Amino acid sequence: MKRHALIGDRAFYSRVFAVMTPILIQNVITNFVSLLDNLMVGQVGTEPMSGVAIVNQLLFVFNLCIFGGLAGPGIFTAQYYGSGDQEGVRNTFRAKLHIALGALLLFAALLLAKGDALIGLFLHESGGSLSLEATLGCGQAYLRVMLLQMLPFAVMQVYASTLRETGETLLPMKAGIIAVLVNLVFNYLLIFGKLGFPALGVVGAAAATVLSRLVECGIVVVWTHRHADKASYIRGVYRTLLVPKALAKKIALLGAPLLVNEALWSAGMTTLNQCYSLRGLEAVSATNISSTVFNLFLCACFAMGSTVSILIGQLLGAGELERAVDEDRKLIAFAVALCAAVGVVMAFIAPALPRLYNTTDEVKALAVGLLRIDALLLPFIAFTNACYFTLRSGGKTIITFVFDSVYIWVCCVSLAFVLSRYTALPLLPMFAAVQALELIKCLVGFFLVRSRRWVNNIVEGI
């Protein structure tokens, strides 16, 4: 393959950075503040940090179900926008509302009824000095308050995802920046009891998150309705909540696999962490630290995935199929190069970050080892992530379902289950073995994208 087939011109990268930069900035700020939040809770003690980490694993499944549920209509949103069909965008917005509120009701009921039992799945003795009872108590207190942030989060995602898919990436970024700053300030005030506020510990951390979600949701919703000239689809969007049957059927056929995929993928990731937790609370704390730090470096990977989805989706919707193929190849190459550079930086500075936590030396050493493994695999993760969003942009949701969630359950979870329960393999080699399966996934992704089965205009004729 010639060099120019993988490298675009200046105009190409200008468009890439115009879409990617706001998403990247928002993700970096969000994850950086999450890292600071994690550090603040970690100053209270290892048990509070572990309790919060376990609850966040459970809420992670809800968050990913929202993302996955909205991704189905989002494919149509990007293509409708590319074809200039504003009524089509309105209908996909309405579909998103139904999906988001349905997921909210389901998960709220589950966490209210079974939250304590789910937290208990992660609590295992390791012979150390950490208390399982204290960890459970912290997790229960944190979860009770965090349930309140689920509604504003779901509504905000409906609005923000539609804004991004229709070319408005700056406003969600600005709202996200303000929200994380609110979260950071009130975390400091409410966790430690500063400036006359009560010292609430993990409850304070949860309350700060709820407040930040309300602020972010308010900004996005109010801006959208006040700027109907820029978001013209919002005019009359609530005249009805009905979605045309033909579109609803297509969204169900294409979107259901995405929703199930994100639910199963996030549940798979949570199950992997549950397998790692069998090595004791030290493993829970170490995986919490490493995943929080790694998420900061993963921002480049996720931002490129969103960029692939938006740019390629718009080209497919506009009928520029060959251009979509050409630019997708260049986007994937850029994603891998960018994340390889990020991986080098991560390998260089990440080992210092776990030392900032108020925890044991064993936990810190484990976290450093986990981060080094992640840094090595980051370019491969970027490749599979870009392949996933390529396939999704063309409506190949059944294929993405197999590529993503079926793969993690059949390969990664199965291996982790066997290694954690039937061997005495320590955490680090077990984690490395599971993560190395990403290399096989790269080969699968390469052949799926190369097949060109994803090159489709899915809104034509609806």
Scan for tokens 């900035």, then name that residue: 25
Scan for tokens 């706001």, then name that residue: 22
In sequence order, what DSSP letters do the residues of 350-395 get, joined into one string?
GGGGGGGSSS-HHHHHHHHHHHHHHHHHHHHHHHHHHHHHHHHHTT
Give the span between the Cα atoms of 328 and 344, in whole angstroms: 25
The residue type of 411 is C
For 231, other C-beta atoms within 10 Å of its C-beta total 23
Q: Among the residues of 45-130, which ranges form H helices?
A: 46-83, 86-120
- The model's pTM is 0.74
pLDDT for the residue numbered 438:
92
pLDDT for the residue numbered 131:
73
Are 284 and 359 spatial neighbours (Cβ–Cβ below 8 Å)? no
User: In the chain, what is the greatest distance between 2 CA atoms, to the nearest angstrom?
Assistant: 64
The per-residue pLDDT string of the chain (462 residues; one tens digit each, 9 = 90 and over) reads: 555 677 877 888 988 898 888 888 877 876 776 677 777 887 877 788 888 888 887 888 888 888 888 988 888 887 788 777 888 889 999 999 999 999 999 999 999 999 889 888 887 765 555 677 888 898 899 999 999 999 999 999 999 999 988 888 788 888 988 988 898 899 999 999 999 999 998 899 999 999 999 999 999 999 999 998 888 888 888 888 888 888 888 888 877 877 787 788 888 888 998 899 888 888 888 888 888 888 888 888 989 988 998 888 888 877 788 888 888 899 999 999 999 999 999 999 888 888 888 778 888 899 999 999 999 999 999 999 999 889 888 877 788 888 888 899 999 999 999 999 999 999 999 999 999 999 999 999 999 888 888 887 766 655
Give the span between the Cα atoms of 27 and 306, in whole angstroms: 11
**What does the DSSP 8-state code read for residue 410?**
I
